[in-house]
Structure formats: structure tokens, C-alpha cells
Structure 1
């Protein structure tokens, strides 16, 4: 069978926990199930975390090569799993995927959380809104990604298998987000279609997409609000896991 439904058979999904379903869409660094915040979320949610095809050396169908493809893939996945009242949360490029899902259909969604998301163009054509993650040295990239660059992973300390997966992550990020660079020129004009409560969580020190970018993103989504976490960069879930989980759980419990 052609199309996204056939891709589901090769999709790697990690699922754990009890509670309302939380669909977690990872960012460019790959799956998040080893991070400290993961176990905290599984105490409150049924966490469903697919690995985007190609990331972490997972199978990558030849005809799944855009964020739009991934959005339809996860819409089909929710249908197949018959998920209802899903809290949709995406990190970085995963936030872009989440936004693309929400402008297509919120029928199975209850809320959306975008964490340091990319996906839109907020400045003019001469202004770089999103830092180029492919051109910088590891040291410079760490400065942009982290409030405390010493928390960046040490590539030299990785096992050969971890390095292989990291290489696939970079390759897959380029596949889905190279041109136009990490955004869809039309998404900004579609965000008015989002009709579920939406929270944007941002690291105050994010040097990839700044809090000003996040505030602009927030303004395009009806009724959305934004919280900024201090002493955190592009991955507040990593640098400030307790504050991050508190924001997620508090938002999910709101009536």
C-alpha cells in the first residue's frame, strides 16, 4: 500500500506510562527516552514517542522526505492506535511537525505544546531567524544550543554505535529541513487554524531560535501563551527538567 499508512509498519515507537496520551515528537538530536524528564512524564502520561524515519538509524522510506510527510504519518498513526484527547508535544523540528499536524486536523488532539520549535519565517528575507546548525563547529554550536555549554554531549566519548546514530540524525535533519531551511513558508499563514489550547515553552538562552522568535510564533496561534525558562537554551527539558515537567503537567491539568 503506498503512502503514509505503509510507512507505519516500519515506524519505531517507544510507549510507556499511564494517564492521558502524550504524543512526543523529538527534535534533531534524536529520540528522547534516555533523558531525565522522560521517567517523570511517564508517571503522569501514556507517553507515545515515535522516532522520525531515518533518525537513530531507523528505516527511512524513499518517499518520506518532508515534514509534511511526517505530519500525515503521525495523523495516520493516531488513527491506527485510535488515540483520543492527545496532548501533542514537539521539540525543535518536532515542534514544527506538531504545528503542521494541528493546522491539518485537531480531531484527536486536546492540547499542544511547542518546545523551542522551528517551522516558520518571522523576519524579512535578509534576516536569519534560525541559526544554521550545519555550518558551526561543535564548540560554537554548543554555545548556541545550551545555556551551559559544558552540558553538551562529548562526541569523543560516544560509542561507535552512538556516533553512527548521531550521524544519521544529522543526515535526517538535513533531509527534512534543508530547503527551505527548517521552515515552511506557508505555515505561518495557516496557524490561525489551530483551535486547541497551545503552550510554547522556550529556553531563555536559546541561540538557535531566540525567545523573540518564540513570541512571534505564539502571536500567530489563537489563544496561545508562552513561558520562558531561565538558565536553559534550546533544550529546556535537558537543562531544567524539573521546571520543564512542571510546566507540561500544569498545562495538561488545566480545565
Structure 2
């Protein structure tokens, strides 16, 4: 296990628009679905997948740095942002299956024989499902603060006596009672340092949620019972996932602490664990320099390589 930390950033933070200067945003039409992507750089492709209720822009801090070595493609997952939103299925874990199929649809449309994938939270679930079903299409996999449809012992999300997660409650309030304050509370759940959530970032998500089609999807996802755990995989199933994997966790991840990341890594036959200090659920946003260095070393090194 590697533990890293990063000093606090100084100065006024740049806006998302400033961070994405020079990146290309476009719509890709696959055989089945429409996909919005943000792209930068050349080299081996790296797909970045956001978490639940999110969008590709949350990787704005990482695009240029990672784009020095990779063709970085941040994606609006199915049901999110400006990507396709049908067919709708109720149930977080059921949707992961379709979202993984959506990722295959995109990878095929971009004519990419193989890709590396970093998924955060829900995105980790999509990446894990994709690697299970199409391992020959994955070079390396990064699971950031998430593990998808696995019945992982000790996880707060696997406790059957918890009727609703705090994140689902905050998401529902942000959708049904949209305001700057309710959206800020929702987004502050993601981070260890609330000040890292800028007013601009809150307003960006408020604007997205004001669009009727996106608002309807977010409302459906935050309905009570939608995140009721019905895992697809047991811990023993992880032995079949042989793709070189980096489990990226944080010391302040809400709910599931670094011990859950360690358990996940211990069950994967070809995995390395790294714990980033002073970060919550969004290490790519809170500690971008350390995040990007770790990702670069893992992808450019041999199997399991990490700085």
C-alpha cells in the first residue's frame, strides 16, 4: 500500500471553463446510444467515468496533465449529462449493466481496440462490470472510491438495515428542492474540505439540473429504494477479475473508509492499493496533482506499478 499527501493549493481556483481550455467536447453516436465526451491529448486511451448524478466536467482538473501522456476521454455516463437516458431501469446495480454496455458502445464507436479505465464511485462500478464482461478490451483498471455490484463485507452500502443512504437523501433534496444551498450540501458530501467546492461548480451543476431531461433522470435516481443493495457479485467472484487494477481510496472517504479499499484490493488477484490523504470521495478534484501522478505511474509502469 502507498500513502500520499499533497499540500493545499494556493490562489484563486480556476473555473471549469478555464481548466478545459483546449479540450474538445463533442457528441459521439454509437450503434445504440449517444455519448457526450470531453477529450484531450494523444497516446493510449484513458476513459474517465464520473460518479452518480455527475458529469464529465468533474475531471476538468485532470485533463491537461493526464493528456500529456494519454488520450484522455471523460464521459457523461448513460442516464447522465448529455448522453442517452433510455432504456430506463430502476435500481442502481441493474443500471450498471446497461452503463457498461454503453461504454462498449462508445469504445466501439471510437474504434478503440483496448482502453484503460478510471471510474470514480458509480464509475468504478461501470469499469468493474466492463472489465468482467470484456477483459480483452481493458489494458488497466482504476477503481476510485467505489466497487460496483460487489457484496463487500463491512461496507456501509451493503448493510441491509439502512433504508436509504445519506447521499441519496441529499441528492433527492437537491433535485426536488433545487437551490444553491441544497446543491452545495449535496456536493460537499463528496469532499473532505468544503472550500474545495467552488460556487462556480455548484452553479454549473444547478444549471445542468435545471434542464428538464437531466432533472427527470436525477429525480428518478434519487427516489427512495432505488439504491437498495441487490449485489450481483460475491467477494469470491473477484478472483476472476485478472485485469491489472489500481484501487484508489482516500483517508476521509464518507462511509467506507480505507479499510474497505484495502479489503477490495486484497480480494483482487492483480491489484495494488493506494490511499490518498486529505481527500473525501473525489480525490481527482481535491488532490489532482497526486491523483494524476499516481494514475500516470500506474498506467505507464508494469502491472501493478504505482509511484
With normalisation by structure 1, the TM-score equals 0.82
CA contact 1:54–1:172 (8 Å) conserved in 2? no
Residue 157 of structure 1 deviates from its aligned partner by 6.0
How far apart are residue 69 of structure 1 and its match? 0.7
Name the counterpart of 2:279: 232
For 2:239 and 2:261, how far apart are their aligned partners in 1? 16
Query: How many Å separate the matches in 2 of 1:156 and 1:238?
Result: 11
Mapping for residues 66-81 of structure 1, pairs under 5 Å: 66-81=95-110
- Give the Cα separation in 1 of the matches to 2:59 and 2:291: 16
Asked if residue 121 in structure 1 is aligned to residue 168 in structure 2, the reply is no
Find out whether 1:107 has 2:136 as its counterpart.
yes
Pairing 1:147–2:200 present: no
Counterparts of 1:191 and 1:184, CA distance in 2: 13
Q: TM-score, normalised by structure 2?
A: 0.70
1:30 matched to 2:55? The reply is: yes
Is 1:170 aligned to residue 194 of structure 2?
no
Matched, 1:52 2:77: yes
For 2:261, which of 202, 214, 217 is the aligned residue? 214
Partner secondary structure for residue 243 of structure 1:
helix
Gaps of 5+ in 2: 1-28, 174-181, 303-307
- Residue 55 of structure 1 aligns to a residue whose secondary structure is coil
SS in 2 for 1:112: strand
1:132 maps onto 2:166 in alignment = yes
Larger radius of gyration: 2
- The offset of 1:204, in angstroms, is 1.1
Cα 1:155–1:249 shift into 2, 3 Å: closer
Separation in 1, partners of 2:71, 2:131: 20
Q: Deviations over 1:153-185 (max 9, x none)?
A: 44896166344268467346548x92434x634
Describe the shift of the 1:251–1:34 C-alpha distance in structure 2 as closer, same or farther (beyond 3 A): closer
Conserved? CA contact 1:209–1:234, under 8 Å: no
Distance in 2 (CA, whole Å) between partners of 1:38 and 1:62 is 30
